[in-house]
Structure 1
Amino acid sequence: MNIIDVLIMVGYFAVLIGVGVIGSRRAKTAEDYILAGRNLGFFMYFGCLTAVILGGASTIGSAQLGYEYGLSGMWLVFMLGFGIMLLGLFLIKRITNFKVMTISEFLGKRFNTQTQLISALVASIYAMMVTVTQVIGMGTILNVLIGWNLTTSMLVGGGIVLFYTILGGMWSVTMTDIVQFLVMTIGIFCFMLPMSVSSAGGWSQLSLQLPDTYFSLSGIGSSQIFHYFLLFGLGMVVAQDIWQRIFTAKTIKIARTGTIFAGIYSLLYGLAISVIGMCAFIVLPNLQDTQNAFASMASETLPAGILGFVLAGVISALMSTASGTLLASSTLITNDILKTYFFKNIKEKQFLILSRVVTSIIGIATIVFALWIQNVLVALDVAYAVLSGAVFVPVILGFFWKRATAKAAFYSIIVSTITILTGLAIEGISSTNPILYGIATSVVVMVFVSLIGQYQKQSVPGYHGNISSGADRSDS
């Protein structure tokens, strides 16, 4: 990289740290730290939600898939956007009515504290693994373009995210996300995409030089598309980092409209990154590590100054998702485990300190895992496989099936998680079957245990039923 690009990157990092410090001054309560005071308007909500959706896998992973398969590489991000739109269209009102901070807190209100505990453990692991993918992505980009070794690159990128997230929580994350969303949008759509197409000789040359399968939306294979639906389409519906952003909206209308627009933006982003990957296949036909397709393409085609800006945009996508999922993981552990079981009478100021301490510990653990795994798509597959297979069914049935019981939800999460992890260990990380096994197991356990529980209660003299859903349900 040219010295100008390096200076742009250093300046950008400095801006993020400065914005994080400013955000820390607004985080005076636990609700400020975790949910930005539930006070975001449309633009801030749309920008920060979009920023948390589109991260390392969306950018580096989609470029890699575009390089290997063509346009059908967009399905990964397409399913992220599809899941977000499903959430906005069908669940926003139900979610906001419960007035909770986490998805596990909803399950606790709908079922019981045991279900809240086990779902918090599963969801926090998911969020942490997504953070791991972003740290790996930052390391990959900085390694290729600046020339730092991979370990140093991960430590720098992950350390900056950890710093501003610890300081201001959701306020810092929101303020930095707006900066990151703008830089990401301009960098990808105004610079990287048109310059990549131009360097490949234009769309006509793409049509002539690429195999026909690269222009087929099914080129990646129907089984892989279904795999992405199970992982990301369903996973987005029950992702804590997404729910947590929804709770930051000032009104239900802002939450619904912003969520749908974020889904549409995600579709366009996925298409753009896949095309960049296709261009890289022509410009860099002998690329040894296709995970470096985006970074290598940027280095090959962009002039000094613009390269630094585009790099800042890509790092923006990674950092915004990393900070959101890091905060999501720490919120689940702090609010649904530590506060519920160990610090029941904790004061507001103490809870804020506890949140920062937990965020620090998880952030350090995340960087360690990133250094160990070092593969974006592998880490992402593990995260979403467990989330989609183990948590999706209890949440959806909790919303729409009044006869679902607490015991059923609790055992459903445990049994399906074991099923998924066992399946992944036997059949491999990329296999779709373990997710299907997990979802099937979850449905069977939920239905069977719920119906058995209802039958047993109805056989008890004097039993007249109980309230099984609604935001005002008391824990029993």
Structure 2
Amino acid sequence: MHWLDMAILMLYFLIMVVIGIIGSRKVGSKEEYALAGRNLGLVIYCSCLVAVIIGGAATIGTAKLGYQFGISGVWLVVMLGIGIMLLGLIFGNYFSKLRITTISEFLGQRYNEQTRFFSAIVSIIYTLMVTVTQIIGMGAIIHAILGWDMTLSMLVGGGVALFYTMLGGMWSVTMTDVVQFIVMTVGIFAVMLPLSLSHVGGMQALMNHVPATHWQLSAIGFKQIFQYFLLYCLGMVVSQDILQRVFTAKNARVSKQGAIFAGVYSIAWAIALSLIGMCAALLLPRLDNPQNAFASLADMILPPGLLGLVLAAVCAALMSNASGSLLASSTLLIQDILKPTWMKDWEERKLLLLSKGVTLLIGLIAMVFAIRIQDVLVALDIAYAILSGAIFIPIVLGILWKGVTAKAGFYAVIAGTIVVIGGLIIEGPTSTNAIMYGMGAGLLVIVGGSWLGKVKSSSEVPVQNRD
């Protein structure tokens, strides 16, 4: 790597660290650490929402899918975009009125404290695995471009994200997200995509030289598209890292408009990265690992300076997603498990220090997991499968159906979790059936349990004596 590219990348890392230090000075309470005071305007909010959606799978994963399947590689991120629009347009106003901090807090209010506790554990598993995917993605990019050992690459990239997130919480994440959004947009849409198309001879040449199946939206398979719907579209609606950003909007109007913008941007990102992957398939047809398609193509076609900028853009996408999911994990652990159980009377200063300590601990655990797994799409599939299969049904029916009982909601979360994890173990981590089994079990338990609860309650009502 040219010294100029290395300098740009190191400068980017340094800026993230400095922003983290500045952000830490704005944090004076646990709510400011978790939600940036619930006061973000439209421009900053749009930047933050995009940054938390577009991460390792949306970048490295989509380029990989574009390399393998062509334009149908868009479906992963398209489902993310549709999911965030559904959240903002249908459920955003409802959640804004509740003034909650976590999705598990909503389940606790709707059902009972046991549901809050158990769903928090499920959500922590999800957010932890999302953090793992971003660390793997950062490691893959740094490893492919700089040639560093994969473990060292993950430790460096993950360590920077962990540092600024731990220091300033959501304020640091928000401030870095604005910078990262700009770097991401310029790096992909103004540099990487145009130069990739230029090196294959333009859009027409790309259309002529890749297989015809690469221009079919269904080439990836309807089963895979449906799996992405279950994983990512439905997962967006109930994922803590996304909702935690939604809660930072200063009003419902900002929340809705931001969701529409983030959805449209996500679809544009999906198309761009799929095209980049297709260009890599033409220029580098014999890659040993398609996951390296983006990094290898960037290394091949970009001149000094621009390579560093694009590398920083990808790291920006990964870091923003990693920081959001990392903060979500620590918020869930403190807000829904530690504070209600053992720390009810703790003052704000102690809770703030605890938040930083928990963030550090979870970040270190995530890096250990990343070193062991090292496959970005597998890790993300596991994360969203557990989330969608376990808590989507209890959350949505809890909002839409007033007749759901507390016990039915609680047992639906447990049933869905057990079934989806069992399905993943039996059928493998990419099983669509496991998610459907989990959602089906949750639906059966929540509907049947609520009906039985009402029958039991009506049978216990004493009959009035008419004499």
**TM-score scaled by length of structure 1:** 0.96
Distance, in Å, in 2 between the alignment partners of 1:310 and 1:258 is 25
Distance, in Å, in 2 between the alignment partners of 1:75 and 1:155 is 30
Partner of 1:432: 432
Partner of 1:173: 173
Deviation at 1:459, TM superposition (A): 2.7
Query: What is the identity, as a one-letter code, of the residue corresponding to 1:273?
Result: L
Residue segments in structure 2 that go unaligned for 5+ positions in a row: none
Q: Is the 8 Å Cα contact of residues 96 and 251 (structure 2) preserved in structure 1?
A: no
Query: What is the identity, as a one-letter code, of the residue corresponding to 2:222?
Result: S
Query: What is the identity, as a one-letter code, of the residue corresponding to 1:314?
Result: V
Distance, in Å, in 1 between the alignment partners of 2:20 and 2:354 is 19
SS of the aligned residue for 2:344 comes to: coil
- The alignment status of 1:66 with 2:66, answered yes or no, reads yes
Partner of 2:454: 454
Partner of 1:211: 211
Deviations 1:157-180 (A, max 9, x none): 111111001100000000001100
SS of the aligned residue for 2:101 comes to: coil
After superposition, residues 194-233 of structure 1 pair within 5 angstroms as 194-233=194-233
Distance, in Å, in 1 between the alignment partners of 2:405 and 2:170 is 33
Deviations 1:346-375 (A, max 9, x none): 111111111111111100000000000000
Distance, in Å, in 1 between the alignment partners of 2:249 and 2:289 is 41
Distance, in Å, in 2 between the alignment partners of 1:419 and 1:104 is 20
Deviations 1:272-294 (A, max 9, x none): 00000000000101111000000
Query: What is the identity, as a one-letter code, of the residue corresponding to 1:296?
Result: S
SS of the aligned residue for 1:262 comes to: helix
- The alignment status of 1:256 with 2:240, answered yes or no, reads no
Distance, in Å, in 1 between the alignment partners of 2:450 and 2:343 is 32
Deviation at 1:457, TM superposition (A): 2.1
Deviation at 1:460, TM superposition (A): 2.9
Distance, in Å, in 2 between the alignment partners of 1:204 and 1:273 is 17
Partner of 2:187: 187
Distance, in Å, in 2 between the alignment partners of 1:388 and 1:381 is 10
Deviation at 1:452, TM superposition (A): 1.0
Deviation at 1:147, TM superposition (A): 1.1
SS of the aligned residue for 1:304 comes to: coil
Deviation at 1:11, TM superposition (A): 0.5
Q: 1:197 to 1:346 in 2, by over 3 A?
A: same
Partner of 1:388: 388
- The alignment status of 1:337 with 2:337, answered yes or no, reads yes
Query: What is the identity, as a one-letter code, of the residue corresponding to 1:141?
Result: I
Distance, in Å, in 2 between the alignment partners of 1:122 and 1:369 is 17
Query: What is the identity, as a one-letter code, of the residue corresponding to 2:22?
Result: I
Distance, in Å, in 1 between the alignment partners of 2:458 and 2:337 is 33
Deviations 1:415-438 (A, max 9, x none): 111111111111111121001101
Deviations 1:331-390 (A, max 9, x none): 000100000111111111111111111111100000000000000000000000010111
Distance, in Å, in 1 between the alignment partners of 2:442 and 2:261 is 31
Deviation at 1:445, TM superposition (A): 0.5
Partner of 2:297: 297
Distance, in Å, in 1 between the alignment partners of 2:407 and 2:357 is 32
Distance, in Å, in 1 between the alignment partners of 2:206 and 2:263 is 28
Q: Is the 8 Å Cα contact of residues 134 and 322 (structure 2) preserved in structure 1?
A: yes
Distance, in Å, in 2 between the alignment partners of 1:454 and 1:4 is 69
Partner of 1:114: 114
Query: Could you tell which deviates more after superposition, 444-453 or 314-323?
Result: 444-453
Deviations 1:195-225 (A, max 9, x none): 0011111112112211101001111011100
Q: 1:186 to 1:462 in 2, by over 3 A?
A: farther
Deviation at 1:133, TM superposition (A): 0.2
Deviation at 1:22, TM superposition (A): 0.6
Distance, in Å, in 1 between the alignment partners of 2:146 and 2:186 is 21
After superposition, residues 314-325 of structure 1 pair within 5 angstroms as 314-325=314-325
Partner of 1:270: 270
Partner of 1:402: 402
Deviations 1:81-120 (A, max 9, x none): 0100111110011111111000000111111100000100
Distance, in Å, in 1 between the alignment partners of 2:192 and 2:327 is 30
SS of the aligned residue for 1:70 comes to: helix
Distance, in Å, in 2 between the alignment partners of 1:200 and 1:422 is 46
Distance, in Å, in 1 between the alignment partners of 2:453 and 2:5 is 63
Distance, in Å, in 2 between the alignment partners of 1:305 and 1:390 is 46
Distance, in Å, in 2 between the alignment partners of 1:428 and 1:174 is 36
Distance, in Å, in 2 between the alignment partners of 1:394 and 1:430 is 23
- The alignment status of 1:375 with 2:363, answered yes or no, reads no
* Aligned Cα root-mean-square deviation (Å): 0.9
Partner of 1:468: none
Partner of 2:132: 132
Query: Could you tell which deviates more after superposition, 340-349 or 134-143?
Result: 340-349
Deviation at 1:461, TM superposition (A): 3.1
Partner of 1:364: 364
Partner of 1:28: 28
Query: What is the identity, as a one-letter code, of the residue corresponding to 1:191?
Result: V
- The alignment status of 1:242 with 2:210, answered yes or no, reads no
Partner of 1:286: 286
Deviation at 1:462, TM superposition (A): 7.3
Distance, in Å, in 2 between the alignment partners of 1:97 and 1:60 is 36
SS of the aligned residue for 1:422 comes to: helix
Partner of 2:123: 123
Deviation at 1:234, TM superposition (A): 0.3
Q: 1:180 to 1:462 in 2, by over 3 A?
A: farther
After superposition, residues 74-113 of structure 1 pair within 5 angstroms as 74-113=74-113
Distance, in Å, in 2 between the alignment partners of 1:416 and 1:30 is 32
Partner of 2:414: 414
Partner of 1:327: 327
- The alignment status of 1:146 with 2:171, answered yes or no, reads no
Q: 1:343 to 1:274 in 2, by over 3 A?
A: same
Partner of 1:162: 162
Query: What is the identity, as a one-letter code, of the residue corresponding to 1:382?
Result: I
SS of the aligned residue for 2:164 comes to: helix
